[in-house]
Amino acid sequence: MRFNTLADFITARPPAFVTGPSAMIFAEDEVEIDSTLRHHLTAGFASVVLFAPPGFRIARGLQHAVIRIDYDVTAGDSLIDAVNRAMTIARGAWLYYGYNAEYLFHPFCETRTVGEMLAFHSEERRDAMLTYVVDLYAGDLDAAPNAVSLQDAWLDKSGYYAQARPDPARHGHPKERQLDFFGGLRWRHEEHIPPERRRIDRIALFRAAKGLRMRSDFTFSDEEYNTYACAWHNNLTAAVCSFRVAKALKRNPGSAFGIESFRWHNSTPFRWESPQLLDLGLMEPGQWF
């Protein structure tokens, strides 16, 4: 199913998207679009929606498995606008958003679907889930000059930290159960990353609701959506394993020639499995066993 505009998609109200859970994939370039779509189809989403320019190609076998919307992801706040407009037809449904060459992992994803996880999360009266964006990068930049390699992917096993998130309405006092998280390539190469883009926390999974809006800093208008856990115990979190920052650092002329390798003494091969992320503390199973 393909739509020429986002407005056509909103008017059509595809049933699988309306009921969810649905994944919205925003393609900034043509790198690993197919693998990203396949990963999220396998994760168990009821629908996977690709937002991409009309010239971007996907494998023939995926064309009938995904919903496609012709869309310019790089124009201004186009992602935020798309998420906010998509929410209007999927109230009550769980949605995920991410970019191409980003892969959502949740606890026990090898044996449990994303729908099963979100059902449990809903029973805990949670309407959003914190995810950490874990930077992936190719181990050999000579073999993979765009820093993307599924067969030779690495990540940082340490170097992550959190800071209190100040509340302007309370004269800078910390917001309750909200933190700003940092680490990965955005931390190690922060001289090339604008301060407003250094956080690695993202509310990538959330339940659409009437009046809910995603803001320009990728937080939500309902402050409870931005919390990492409920008030009485720890909740599930997930991880978005992403080549996006590595791609940008190697594409940007200001950083590309100064980085010969992303590997350092705390790099480790990524095994593409949830136990590794759990062991590294990059996602939390909460009370789900």
Dump pLDDT digits (tens) for 93-124: 999 999 999 999 999 999 999 999 999 999 99
- Cα atoms found within 13 Å of the Cα of residue 71, Cβ hemisphere only: 28
CB-CB contact of 119 with 129 (8 Å): no
DSSP 193-241: S-GGG---EEEEEEE--TT--B-TTS-BSSGGGG-SS-SSS----EEEE
Smallest CA-to-CA distance from 237 within 162, 136, 152 is with: 162
For tokens 């769980």, the residue is 94
Beta pairing partners, 239: 105, 132
What is this structure's pTM? Answer: 0.96
Task: Inform me whether the pLDDT recorded for 78 exceeds 80.
Answer: yes
User: What digits encode the pLDDT tens for the residues 224-235?
Assistant: 999 999 988 899
pLDDT score, position 90: 97
Q: Tell me the percentage of the chain whose pLDDT exceeds 70.
A: 100
Taking the CB of residue 196, how many other CB atoms lie within 10 A of it? Answer: 9
pLDDT score, position 231: 87
| Average pLDDT of the residues of the chain | 95
pLDDT score, position 7: 97
CA distance 258 to 275: 34
CB-CB contact of 101 with 40 (8 Å): no
CB-CB contact of 23 with 40 (8 Å): yes
CA distance 23 to 30: 18
Mean pLDDT for the stretch of residues 14-20: 96
